[in-house]
Amino acid sequence: MTAAVTTRALRTDETNYKLYFRMINEQQVDDICIDFFYKPHTITLLTATVLSLMYFAFTRDDEQSDNNLRVGLLVVVSFFLVISVLAFPNGPFTRPHPAIWRMVFGLSVLYFLFLVLLIFLNWDQVKTLMYWLDPNLRYAKREADIMEYAVNCTVITWERILSHFDIFAFGHFAGWAMKALVIRSYGLCWTISITWEFTELFFMHLLPNFAECWWDQVILDILLCNGGGIWLGMTVCHFLEMRTYRWASIKEIHTTTGKIKRAVLQFTPASWTYVRWFDPKSSFQRLAGIYLFMILWQLTELNTFFLKHIFVFQASHPLSWCRILLFGVITAPTVRQYYAYLTDTQCKRVGTQCWVFGMSQKFFEGQSTTIFLVVVACLEISVELAFIYLSVKSQHLHKAIHVLCSIFDSNETGSLCLLARLSHLKLS
């Protein structure tokens, strides 16, 4: 009798676990307004994709071999996104439509596979690939090579302060507003904002564009741009938390204005979850997970600047801002899944989007994904580059010894810093 009760309890727990994991990994749509947009149209989609492929394959000019490769690669990406709509999970969100979030997950998988390819290429091969994608990158220069940073910091005038309110200042403000919408915590947002300024100071000798005047870093960045964005994002969060979510079908609305309003509201959240990262009774695992979350966030930000510096392209290039936009969209379901895994005892594993994002960022987390081979490969390359630098640049012996000593740093942050320094030394 006891064994039967135990078996039923285990089956109930397993069923609840599967249902709960499905809520964060493949959320179902509860408020279907128009049935046509939520019914499967696999045969129609198959017919449309095949006809489109045949049309472009037989009507386009195939004289230029490079153009053929670019178009072929673009079509492969398009077909992969079609398969993503059919096969991949929705993730934790369903607005404005689950198909959009499936394509977002598909793009993150493509980005991850592209990183896997880059692991097996050397620096010259990566540059050749970049020149093939955009020949203008041959003539690109680093922003640090054509601009000066942190000059005449003692001269403070209104004209100089106002000149710093450019498109990048607006990007800081809007970016932190979106980050606050994703993180939904004043404490975490302010901690990440302030520690990022320390990160800039630590890496200023490698990335000259991190050099800023004190008033630019403290007043303009932390207080005005970052602080204003955090306040705006958290204000929107509090507004959405207090709303009452009762969705009516568009068929039940009889006025044209009401139908248009309902269509626009389709691009707003279907519900809003109250987030509480910190708790007085938090376990050590939860605190460690929050600390790890902040480290991962800093590494994601830092990668953006190192990519521009090492592979030589400016912030205005599509390689830069497209990656930022992609990560901005990917981060929303990733943080939601990671928060559920970190704070809810019913969630036993991370969602697929969080797993792929962690792999893409070389994320090391003992209970979800272990990137042991990547760390070993990075250390192997680091040792090789260190000995090359030691043999070629013997006049900088003290730097080579410092690099070799840094190899034995066991945490992943140290490994990334090591790789950045080695790349900087190799390029210089």
Question: Of 80-84, 218-222, 315-319, 415-419, which gets the smallest average pLDDT?
Answer: 415-419
pLDDT for residue 20: 58
pLDDT for residue 10: 46
Which is higher by pLDDT, 225 or 25? Answer: 225
- Dist CA 54 CA 50 (whole Å): 6
pLDDT for residue 272: 83
pLDDT for residue 188: 92
pLDDT for residue 193: 92
pLDDT band of 230, cuts 50, 70, 90: very high
pLDDT for residue 35: 64
- Exposed / middle / buried, residue 408 (Cβ in 10 Å: 0-12, 13-18, 19+): exposed
pLDDT for residue 366: 32
- Dist CA 422 CA 354 (whole Å): 29
- Dist CA 78 CA 129 (whole Å): 20
- Dist CA 281 CA 116 (whole Å): 40
Both structure tokens of 25:
């990994």
pLDDT for residue 21: 63
Among residues 397, 134, 412, the alpha carbon closest in space to that of 425 is found at 397
Residues 6+ apart with CB under 8 A from 293: 188, 338, 342
pLDDT for residue 126: 82
pLDDT for residue 124: 82
pLDDT for residue 393: 45
Percent of the chain's residues with pLDDT above 70: 75
Which is higher by pLDDT, 194 or 11? Answer: 194
The predicted-structure confidence for 83-120, as pLDDT tens digits, reads as follows 888 888 887 887 888 888 899 999 989 988 888 887 78
Q: In sequence order, what E strands does 207-336 have?
A: none
Q: What is the mean pLDDT of the chain?
A: 75
Are the beta carbons of 360 and 323 closer than 8 angstroms? no
Are the beta carbons of 339 and 366 closer than 8 angstroms? no
pLDDT for residue 387: 52
Among residues 1, 321, 303, the alpha carbon closest in space to that of 167 is found at 321
pLDDT for residue 242: 82
The predicted-structure confidence for 360-409, as pLDDT tens digits, reads as follows 665 333 323 323 333 333 444 444 445 544 444 444 444 444 444 444 43
The predicted-structure confidence for 324-371, as pLDDT tens digits, reads as follows 898 889 888 889 888 888 887 777 778 788 888 876 665 333 323 323
Percent of the chain's residues with pLDDT above 90: 10
pLDDT band of 208, cuts 50, 70, 90: confident
- Dist CA 352 CA 248 (whole Å): 31
Q: Is residue 30 scored above 70 in pLDDT?
A: no
- Exposed / middle / buried, residue 230 (Cβ in 10 Å: 0-12, 13-18, 19+): buried
pTM for the model stands at 0.75
The predicted-structure confidence for 159-192, as pLDDT tens digits, reads as follows 777 777 878 888 889 999 999 999 999 999 999 9
Count the Cβ atoms, other than its own, within 10 Å of residue 176: 24
Which is higher by pLDDT, 134 or 405? Answer: 134
Mean pLDDT of 271-287: 82
How far is the first Cα of the chain from the last one, in angstroms, to the nearest whole number? 74
Which is higher by pLDDT, 364 or 226? Answer: 226
Are the beta carbons of 176 and 225 closer than 8 angstroms? yes
- Dist CA 422 CA 428 (whole Å): 10
Both structure tokens of 404:
């070799």
Residues 6+ apart with CB under 8 A from 177: 229, 230, 232, 233, 236
Residues 6+ apart with CB under 8 A from 385: 422, 425, 426
